[in-house]
Amino acid sequence: MRDISIIPLGAHPRDVLLIELKHGIERVLPVECTIHEIPLDIETAFDSSRRQYHSTLILAHLLQQTDLTAGRLLGITPFDLFVPVLTFVFGQAQVNNRTAVFSTFRLHNEFYGLPQSQEILAMRTLKEAVHELGHTYGLRHCQGRPCVMNSSTYVEDIDLKPPDFCLPCRTHLQSVL
Amino acid sequence: MSAFNPSEITIMIVDDEPSVRESLAAWFEDDGYVILTAQNAAEALQHMQNHTVDIILLDIKMPGMDGLALQDRIREFNTEVIIIIITAFATVDTAVRALKAGAFDYTTKPVDPDELSHLVRNAVEKIRLQRENRALRDSIDQLQFVDDIIGESAEMQKVLEMVRNVAPTDSSALILGESGTGKELIARAIHMNSRRRYFPLIPVNCGAIPESLLESELFGHEKGAFTGAQYRRKGKFEMSQGGTIFLDEIGTLSLKSQVDLLRVLEDREFHRIGGERTVKVDFRLICATNVNLEDEVKAGRFREDLYYRINVFTITIPPLRERRPDIPLLARYFVERHATAMTKVEPEISTEAMDVLLTHDWPGNVRELENALERAVVINKGDVIKPEDLPVQVGRETAGPRSSSLAEVEKDHIRHMLSDNNWNISRTAEQLGIDRVTLYNKIEKYGLKRPA
Ligand SMILES: [Zn+2]
Ligand SMILES: [Zn+2]
């Protein structure tokens, strides 16, 4: 319950971003986080007409791998994600279940024509990761107060919210963690 | 007026494709809505019999009875349910037909997440108004979402009274107060108690954004507007569509930015940088500042016409030292909050420590008090917060004779904090509970210099 495996999917550089993410998650949540590089083929989730990956199929793949059978599985990928009816998603998670995946594709400042910033990327990555994990612990979107569970449909929404949970959401987490 | 809760809204998704139903259902379930799905017209009508449905997301192309025919059928017995058409190929023809037959809106697949959430929030706002009209409006003076604003002092009660008065009016508001007094909380309280509360509150700290980026930040830009702009980007005004934009530190705006702002306030429309199309926006403006804008107007640094436009209704938040009776309440609140967040046992505050808190002048106001107590929760041993758990700076100046002026106390305090932090500006600002720009201004004002 308290273990989280960060699983890089696709050509993700094993760089400071992942290490920072691990420490960031451990600061916000009372969990132990490990980075696992397991060979997981997500090419079947690729939609060649949209040139994006179907995030629901990735979640199914994550669940099928047999190396990690306990704890939460958090996929992180540099590729753009989608679900059929939407143009893109930042990430997707199974509410009250084990798996979540998110993409850094739209978290880079360069994507919006702004100067590159490792710091901003790391902060957005952390917020997205914590948000999707929050769903796996049963949290829904939170409104009315600053909280990492505020819903984000634009990268600016991600920048606006804090990387941490508001008091009611944190109280819920404490009851399940 | 009850607080909005998505679990009070039922959305039905009608589409013959399973993956579309599943992904839409999952997406809206994350927001907490109640979801029903139907794969054809018959199933949809069946749901309508057994449930109260508020919003229908309807696909046009379905085997059997198509979406438009289903809409006509539903309208025969239900005129209230909101129907949003989502279709793979929208022709002008079908769109016009759908809208004429009473659809609320329509969009094409795949839909932008932002657009979809906007459509639904618009629908929810309409539902809320319908429900509100039906219900008695008896509890309108009950303020919602203000539990973070702590204060029983007469001064704070006056502030809340003003929030209560201005919130429902949609007029511009100007919030005055020193750094750290909680101007954003007040802005949020106004927003959350206004009819715009289901739409975003977009805060912009004008003082923290470099002048060169401010225009793009506020108005957005089109792809190719300048070197490196490879994608279209929404500005803060566009993001605040339907909601509230909160411009903090409005006094730091350049005269050029003031002209831009005045124009958008007057016209309620603008162009993205490099864009031709006029973007219309519907927003409420709340501004805040810790400088005296009247002085700035006299000095020619702030436009008078803009000043009158933003200063329709003024709320002044008193500094913490002018509402000392609130300190114990605030202190206990912050200790509880941070102890809970750190999963620690909530420590008590000793009488001596409380005396220190009560006598300190708190130049960084509530934010400084919160930072001091967060630190105390971290470092205190046992279950009582003692004076030594408080930042050493607290109480230092109050130990001496109380003849020094407030400015001297503040200058002294800032100098100590800077040297304690080895002149690390970010860390010092954080501990003082003020932002970096304010700290730089104070360093300049007091002529503080880093020792060689
Ligand atoms: Zn979410
Ligand atoms: Zn929350």
Work out the percent of chain B whose per-residue pLDDT is above 70: 91
Selection from B1-5, B48-52, B402-406 with the highest mean pLDDT:
B48-52
List, in order, residues 6 or more apart from B422 with CB less than 8 Å away.
none
Residue A91 covered by a domain: yes
- CA-closest candidate to residue B297, choices B286, B284, B310: B310
- CA distances (Å), origin A113, targets A78, A127, B228, B230: 18, 21, 5, 5
Residue A99 covered by a domain: yes
Strands A3-8 and B284-289: unpaired
A89 and B113 in contact by Cβ < 8 A?
yes
Residue found by looking up tokens 């939460």 in the block: A72
B134 band by pLDDT with thresholds 50, 70 and 90: low
Q: Side-chain half-sphere of B2: how many Cα atoms within 13 Å?
A: 12
User: Is 80 exceeded by the pLDDT of residue B433?
Assistant: no
CB-based contact (8 Å) between A13 and chain B? no
Q: Is the dihedral of CA B79, B84, B88, B94 positive or negative?
A: positive
What's the confidence (pLDDT) of residue A133? 96
B343 band by pLDDT with thresholds 50, 70 and 90: confident
d(Cα B72, Cα B49) in Å, to the nearest integer? 16
- Tokens in use for A114? 């702004």
Residues whose Cβ atom is located within 5 A of ion ligand 2: A 142, 147, 149, 166, 169
pTM beyond cutoff 0.80: no
What is the arithmetic mean of pLDDT over B373-379?
A: 87
B36 band by pLDDT with thresholds 50, 70 and 90: very high
- CA-closest candidate to residue B102, choices B58, B133, B48: B58
Is the preceding peptide bond at B110 cis, omega within 30 degrees of 0?
yes
Domains of chain B with bracketed CATH = 6-140 (3.40.50.2300), 154-318 (3.40.50.300), 321-394 (1.10.8.60), 401-452 (1.10.10.60)
CB-based contact (8 Å) between A101 and chain B? no
Contact of B38 with B12, CB cutoff 8 Å = yes
Helix residue ranges per DSSP H, A29-111: 55-64
CB-based contact (8 Å) between B25 and chain A? no
B112 and A87 in contact by Cβ < 8 A?
yes
What's the confidence (pLDDT) of residue A34? 93
User: Is 60 exceeded by the pLDDT of residue B139?
Assistant: no
Tell the burial category of B421 from Cβ atoms under 10 Å away from its Cβ (0-12, 13-18, 19+). Answer: middle
CATH number at residue A92: 3.40.390.10
Residue found by looking up tokens 């990492």 in the block: A148
Contact of A63 with A99, CB cutoff 8 Å = yes
Helix residue ranges per DSSP H, chain A: 16-28, 55-64, 118-136, 155-160, 167-176
d(Cα B14, Cα B40) in Å, to the nearest integer? 7
- Tokens in use for B349? 């505050």
CB-based contact (8 Å) between B29 and chain A? yes
- Tokens in use for B430? 């954080």
Examine the residue annotation and report whether A132 is marked as an active-site residue of this protein: yes
A174 and B343 in contact by Cβ < 8 A?
yes
d(Cα B33, Cα B380) in Å, to the nearest integer? 43
- Tokens in use for A25? 């998650």
Residue A145, min C-alpha distance to chain B (Å): 8
Instruction: Using DSSP, state whether B36 is helix, strand or coil.
Output: strand
User: Is 90 exceeded by the pLDDT of residue A38?
Assistant: no
Burial track B20-59 (b if 16+ CB lie within 10 A, e otherwise): bbbbbbbbbbbbbbbbbbbbbbeebbebbeeeebbbbbbb
Mutate to test the interface with A, among B231, B236, B336 (most CBs of A within 10 A): B231
Residue A22 covered by a domain: yes
Write out pLDDT tens, residues A78-103: 999 999 889 999 999 998 889 999 99
Residue A127, min C-alpha distance to chain B (Å): 16
Residue B452, min C-alpha distance to chain A (Å): 30
Residue A152 covered by a domain: no
Task: Return the H-helix or E-strand segment holding A38.
Answer: none
B30 band by pLDDT with thresholds 50, 70 and 90: very high
Strands A72-77 and A52-54: unpaired
Residue A34 covered by a domain: yes
Instruction: Using DSSP, state whether B6 is helix, strand or coil.
Output: helix
B393 band by pLDDT with thresholds 50, 70 and 90: low
Residue A163 covered by a domain: no
B23 and A83 in contact by Cβ < 8 A?
yes
d(Cα A91, Cα B153) in Å, to the nearest integer? 45
ipTM (interface predicted TM): 0.85
Residue A134 covered by a domain: yes
What's the confidence (pLDDT) of residue B138? 39
B147 band by pLDDT with thresholds 50, 70 and 90: low
Q: DSSP code of A71?
A: S
Residue A158 covered by a domain: no
- Tokens in use for B78? 């239900």
Query: Residue A141 is nearest to which of B32, B111, B197, comparing CB atoms?
Result: B32
> Which chain A positions have a beta carbon within 8 Å of B197's beta carbon?
144
User: Is 70 exceeded by the pLDDT of residue B145?
Assistant: no
What's the number of domains chain A is made of?
1
| φ, ψ at A172 (rounded to 5°) | -60, -45
Query: Which domain range does residue A51 map to?
Result: 3-140
Helix residue ranges per DSSP H, B313-360: 327-341, 351-359
List, in order, residues 6 or more apart from B251 with CB less than 8 Å away.
B289, B290, B291, B293, B296, B302
**Cα of B98 vs its chain's centroid, Å:** 35
List, in order, residues 6 or more apart from B253 with CB less than 8 Å away.
B206, B214, B261, B302
> Which chain B positions have a beta carbon within 8 Å of A113's beta carbon?
221, 223, 225-226, 228-231, 233
A167 and B337 in contact by Cβ < 8 A?
yes
Contact of B150 with B335, CB cutoff 8 Å = no
Strands A52-54 and A81-82: parallel
Q: Side-chain half-sphere of B223: how many Cα atoms within 13 Å?
A: 4
